[in-house]
Amino acid sequence: MKQSNESVQSKQSISAKQSAGSGKNHYDTTLLVVIWILVAVGLVLMYSTSSYNGLTKFHDRFYYLKKQGFATILGLVGMFVTAGIDYHKWSRFAPAAYVSALALSVAVLFVGKEYNGSKRWLSLGPFSFQPSEFAKVAVILFLAWMIERQTKKIGKFSTMIRLFLPVLPIAGLVGASNLSTAIIILGIAGILIFTASPKYGQFLWMAAAGAGFLGIFLGLESYRLERLEIWRNPEQFEKGYQTLQGLYAIGSGGLFGQGLGKSIQKLGFLPEAQNDMIFSIICEELGLVGAGLILLLFLLMIWRFFVIATHARDLFGALIAAGAMAHMMIQVILNIAVVTNSIPNTGITLPFVSYGGTSVVFLLIEMGLVLSVSNLIE
């Protein structure tokens, strides 16, 4: 009964604080500026990379830009709508978001649309939707909601297992066609639970379990093991062609690059350059200096996520910001590691820059959640 009263008082206190800050609109200015810069730079770089493919395949050099621009506008609207809503209100929808992500991931296996050998999309009339992008946001909200309700037991190993178990079905379903996104989802879950837990030693067991799960998952399909061989010796395999062309692009860019729009590798040598391998074209056109500036923007964004997480009004807000930080950090690292052949090719996009409508829409909505958290920081 005492705990119940304390819970009610806590909720009332939080509600009062929300009401006191609900009239404010002081979003994190630095984060907002970085988002705008990344969106603008991303569209310019995506057009530069995709114009040749658009012209040769669709007789329209603006084909990819128009589709990405439309998705970006939708995403920006979603971002500002989400940012204007008190983030606590999303807590009640977290279980529904999890169930929806699970259902959509199952649907992909049966009625998914296949593109370039991967079944990752659901068709909605003239539009295609990638449920795995929604799953990232759903997992952040769901785990933040679960952890908030387990704060008194979070130090127990059994609680950590209970928090991590619901993530495995989504990771498994997504990983059936998109291993890189499954790794991101598992990484987000691990970092969120690690952030909330006062005991760090037990995470060694979690890391071991995650490595075991990944090992079993890799062994289930022979093509995944083949990717390891291609990674080690790309010049000996036909499927290593894309990796080699990407490395040629990085090498030819030098320190200052060939100039914006002057890439040679995008002229049919590097397949689907506007997707996963766009960072190699950035290196070719802008050089290591230009690529470094892009990375600096991502580092600045990740730093602001950290600042917002540490100053958030409550645990739920802190976990939303920490989840976004984990998502951005892992995805950027994976993309650059793939492009530079530091890890096997997993097919992961560069946030805000690579072509992908579903990705940019849900990324911007996720940014809206973090901005909403920053709005209530005093």
Residue 13 has pLDDT above 50, yes or no: no
Q: Are 98 and 138 in contact (CB under 8 A)?
A: yes
Among 92-101, 191-200, 256-265, 315-324, the least confident range: 191-200
Residue 9 has pLDDT above 80, yes or no: no
Higher-scoring residue by pLDDT: 38, 9: 38
> Residue 121: what are its φ and ψ, rounded to 5°?
-120, 150
Q: At what angle do helices 131-148 and 94-111 cross, to 10 degrees?
A: 150
Mean pLDDT of 121-125: 77
As given in the structure block, the two tokens for residue 276 are 């996963």
Q: Are 180 and 348 in contact (CB under 8 A)?
A: yes
Establish if 132 belongs to a structural domain. Answer: yes
Among 202-216, 229-243, 256-270, 312-326, the least confident range: 202-216
pLDDT of residue 120: 78
Extended beta strands in the chain, E state: 113-115, 118-124, 127-129
Residue 117 has pLDDT above 50, yes or no: yes
Entry field: residues in the chain? 378
Cα–Cα distance between 136 and 335 in angstroms, integer?
16
Q: At what angle do helices 131-148 and 157-164 cross, to 10 degrees?
A: 150
Which of 64, 58, 51, 68 has its CA nearest to residue 267? Answer: 51
Establish if 71 belongs to a structural domain. Answer: yes
Q: Would you call 333 exposed, middle or buried from its count of C-beta atoms within 10 A (0-12, 13-18, 19+)?
A: middle
Residue 20 has pLDDT above 50, yes or no: no
pLDDT of residue 195: 85
| Residue whose tokens read 């190993």 | 157
pLDDT of residue 235: 80
Establish if 21 belongs to a structural domain. Answer: no
Cα–Cα distance between 328 and 315 in angstroms, integer?
20
Number of domains in the chain: 1
Establish if 97 belongs to a structural domain. Answer: yes
Establish if 12 belongs to a structural domain. Answer: no
Say how many C-beta atoms besides its own lie within 10 A of residue 257's C-beta.
21
Residue 155 has pLDDT above 50, yes or no: yes
pLDDT of residue 1: 41
Cα–Cα distances (Å) from 108 to 72, 101, 129, 274, in that order, read 24, 11, 10, 24
Identity of the highest mean pLDDT range in 110-119, 158-167, 252-261: 252-261
Which domain range does residue 299 map to?
27-375
pLDDT tens digit sequence for 308-331: 999 999 999 999 999 999 999 999
Establish if 136 belongs to a structural domain. Answer: yes
Mean pLDDT of 245-270: 92
Mean pLDDT of 73-100: 96
Average pLDDT value for the chain: 86
pLDDT tens digit sequence for 171-203: 888 887 788 888 899 999 989 988 888 776 667
Cα–Cα distance between 122 and 314 in angstroms, integer?
36
Higher-scoring residue by pLDDT: 11, 85: 85
Residues 6 or more apart in contact with residue 86 via CB below 8 angstroms: 18, 22, 372, 376
Mean pLDDT of 98-123: 83
Which of 216, 239, 280, 183 has its CA nearest to residue 231? Answer: 239
The number of CA neighbours under 13 Å toward the Cβ of 9 is 6
Q: How many helices (H) does the chain have, and how many strands (E)?
A: 14, 3
Q: Would you call 168 exposed, middle or buried from its count of C-beta atoms within 10 A (0-12, 13-18, 19+)?
A: middle
Establish if 314 belongs to a structural domain. Answer: yes
In the chain, % of residues over pLDDT 70 = 87
Q: Which amino acid is at 199?
A: K
Establish if 361 belongs to a structural domain. Answer: yes
pLDDT-derived band at 213 (thresholds 50, 70, 90) equals low
